[in-house]
Amino acid sequence: MHTPDTSHYLFLCASTREPGHEGNTEWLARQAAAALPANAQQTWMSLPRLQLPAFVDQRHTTGTYAPPEGDLKTLLDATLAATHLVLVAPVYWFSIPAPLKAYLDHWSAFLRVPGLDFKARMAPKPLYLVTTSGDRAKAQPMIDSVQLCAQFMGMPWGGALWGKGGAPGAVAQDAEAVQAAARFLSAG
């Protein structure tokens, strides 16, 4: 009998390339997504296209945060609706791009929105990272930092898919990465 797939993958793209210019990281993530079962739901969002407010640390003043509004609410709702979270982020300065950092900083606020229960609702969602950079060694600090975020949140670590990037199209020449992409999300 056919079992409906209730998986819902949210792909959060953080490359800051101009609109209409697909980068290496998104291209590699789309190879991984193409191997998902046809009935698995996919949502793709570009973090740099969203208007997110600056994060303010209110932990030791008000201690709580109001429920988010606007694009931040849209992003939170998409995050909570997903069963699997895939961060699609090139290496920038051995780290994650600023739009992804802004999103993750807001997790600190989401954890303190009364009644949201953010941590418990995130805990079952595996966290994956798709990344590209000039060489693999330079991606390690960023991979480690994302894995530690998953650990802090009690989210299963889905692993990192790395490819050799550069100018758009470069990662398509990385045969190992393209092969790994086809298997990357299959365990989830």
Instruction: Tell me how far, at minimum, the Cβ of 156 lies from ligand FMN, in Å.
Output: 25
Instruction: Tell me how far, at minimum, the Cβ of 76 lies from ligand FMN, in Å.
Output: 24
Q: Is 7 left (phi over 0), alpha (psi -120 to 50) or beta?
A: beta
- The string of DSSP codes covering 126-148 is -EEEEEEESSGGGGHHHHHHHHH
Comparing CB distances to ligand FMN, the nearer of 28 and 185 is 28
Mapped onto helix, strand or coil, the DSSP state of residue 31 is helix
Comparing CB distances to ligand FMN, the nearer of 68 and 165 is 165
Do 96 and 142 form a contact (C-beta atoms < 8 A)? yes
Do 76 and 112 form a contact (C-beta atoms < 8 A)? no
* 81, 94, 121, 123: which one binds ligand FMN (CB under 6 A): 94
Could you tell me the sign of the dihedral formed by the alpha carbons of 63, 64, 68, 74, in that order?
Answer: positive
> Whats the size of the chain, residue-wise?
188
Should residue 158 be labelled a site residue for ligand FMN when binding is judged by CB under 6 A? no
Should residue 73 be labelled a site residue for ligand FMN when binding is judged by CB under 6 A? no
Comparing CB distances to ligand FMN, the nearer of 97 and 126 is 97
Instruction: Tell me how far, at minimum, the Cβ of 21 lies from ligand FMN, in Å.
Output: 8
User: For residues 1-60, which are near ligand FMN according to CB under 6 A?
Assistant: 15, 17, 23-26
Cβ density class 110-137: b for 16+ within 10 Å, e for less: beeeeebebeeebeebbbbbbbbbeeee
Should residue 135 be labelled a site residue for ligand FMN when binding is judged by CB under 6 A? yes
Should residue 165 be labelled a site residue for ligand FMN when binding is judged by CB under 6 A? yes
Should residue 90 be labelled a site residue for ligand FMN when binding is judged by CB under 6 A? yes
Q: Which residues bind ligand FMN (CB under 6 A)?
A: 15, 17, 23-26, 90-94, 132-135, 138, 165-166, 168
